[in-house]
Structure 1
Amino acid sequence: MLIVMEGIDGSGKSTVARLVARELAPYRAVFVDKKDIGPADPGTEARAGRLRELIWSSPEKQGDTYGAAHWILLIASWYAGLARLRPDLTDPDTLAVTDGWYYRNIAKTLVRERLDAHWVESLFAPVPESALTVLLDVAPEVAWARRHDFKDTEIGRWDGFTGPPRESYRAYQSVVREELLRMAKDRDWLVLTPDPDDPPERTAAAVVAAVRALRRTP
């Protein structure tokens, strides 16, 4: 069973996802790094390494020279492979908790270029949907106050957002947030809006309660 934390960059997905996996450990829960294909033969790992480098290790300063369609196709290829190589994602006896899934990639693609939304979403047809997706609806101003080490892609430089980093980040993440809220409504996600002063443990507790309620549902 796949449990996903979603949200803008800096919303606290990783922290909350790890806390949730720890709290749900008695239910055979694991934290899943979506960039990790798990145990694989050398050839498969080599192919995964090349794809991983294309997606996440390319020099940011060169920008998105090939365009959003090329980028989302690479992302879709990665997740299609992950779906085949990580059986724990669909194991009904395992709670696989991850800090984000492909949903935010769709949101960012639709912000970057005016591509057909149905076509973009269709690319991920081979990828399992989550049993529960939790959108951590954190305002960009709150996320920025937590950390300032955002990458160019997170500040919106690839998407035409210019100016001081803080203002660029706020403007870019605001439109990404709007796309995520639209997806949350369409896909019936659980939306949590943590108070800026709340510790992540409180947010994690709300997610854990939702997971336990889901498991009790026939």
Structure 2
Amino acid sequence: MLIVLEGIDGSGKTTVARLVADALAPGGTAPAGKKHIGAADPATEARAAVLRDLIWSSPEEQGDTYGAAHWILLIASWYAGLARLRPGLADPDAESLTVMDGWYYRNIAKTLVREPLDAGWVASLFAPVPEPALTVLLDVDPDVAWSRRDTFKETELGRWDGYTGPARESFRGYQSVVRRELLRMAAERDWLVLTPHPNDPPARTAAAVVAAVAAVAAVRALRRTP
């Protein structure tokens, strides 16, 4: 079963996902994250490494030379391959549980912010990728997210999207529009939206996610009962 934590950069996805995974799969038994394809032959791993580097290792100072359409096509290729190579991610009857700190949704949001592409076309690129059993949006104000980290990447500051002012102001402006897109997607896709208080410890947010996962698992168990 696949559980996904979404949110803007700095919203706490990684921290909460780790706590949720520890609670649901003690001892670190949850499978690896979205950049890992699992067991594969050397040729497949070599191809995956090339695509992985194109997406996540390109120098950010070069900017988005090829444009948003090129970038989202690479992302869609990665996730389509991941769904094929790790079919257990979307299998509701699989014994394994995966908690991801982000899926492809934020990539869609950032693409639509970057260029006026057709939202339906962008979403259709991910048709081969199954939906998670539960997606939780951590709806965090950009000012709160800014205060949680010491540094942000150029893309997180919106430098590829025309934001050129002081770092904090750029981050606030850019992440605000990404947040708006994620909230739109949450409404369309029926995600669980959590809005943690700025002073709430991550453990409290993680506990709410664990409770939601238990509810989803209970519903699925009832559906499988003869």
Is the 8 Å Cα contact of residues 37 and 85 (structure 1) preserved in structure 2? yes
Q: CA RMSD in A?
A: 1.2
Compared CA separation, residues 31 and 147, structure 1 to 2 (3 A):
farther
What TM-score comes out, normalization by structure 1 length?
Answer: 0.97
List aligned pairs for 1:98-137, cutoff 5 A.
Answer: 98-137=100-139
Compared CA separation, residues 31 and 166, structure 1 to 2 (3 A):
farther
Q: CA deviation at 1:128?
A: 1.0
Give unmatched runs, 5+ long, in structure 1.
none
Is the 8 Å Cα contact of residues 88 and 94 (structure 1) preserved in structure 2? yes
Is the 8 Å Cα contact of residues 18 and 31 (structure 1) preserved in structure 2? no
Q: Which residue of 1 aligns with 2:89?
A: 89
Distance between the aligned counterparts of 1:109 and 1:192, measured in 2?
24
Distance between the aligned counterparts of 1:178 and 1:216, measured in 2?
31
Distance between the aligned counterparts of 2:4 and 2:29, measured in 1?
13
What TM-score comes out, normalization by structure 2 length?
Answer: 0.93
Q: Which residue of 1 aligns with 2:74?
A: 74
Q: Which residue of 2 aligns with 1:57?
A: 57
Partner AA of 1:185 in structure 2: A
Q: For each residue in 1:84-132, what CA deviation from the matched residue of structure 2 results, as whole angstroms up to 9, or x when unmatched? A: 1113312322221100100000000000000000000000000010111
Is the 8 Å Cα contact of residues 31 and 96 (structure 2) preserved in structure 1? no
Q: Which residue of 1 aligns with 2:39?
A: 39
Partner AA of 1:35 in structure 2: K
Partner of residue 179 from structure 2, selected from 177, 180, 184: 177
Distance between the aligned counterparts of 1:148 and 1:172, measured in 2?
17
Report sequence identity in percent: 76
Q: Which residue of 2 aligns with 1:146?
A: 148
Partner AA of 2:68 in structure 1: A
Distance between the aligned counterparts of 1:32 and 1:114, measured in 2?
34
Partner AA of 2:148 in structure 1: R
Compared CA separation, residues 29 and 207, structure 1 to 2 (3 A):
farther
Distance between the aligned counterparts of 1:31 and 1:95, measured in 2?
7
Compared CA separation, residues 31 and 13, structure 1 to 2 (3 A):
farther
Distance between the aligned counterparts of 2:25 and 2:39, measured in 1?
21
Q: Which residue of 1 aligns with 2:201?
A: 199
Distance between the aligned counterparts of 1:70 and 1:25, measured in 2?
37
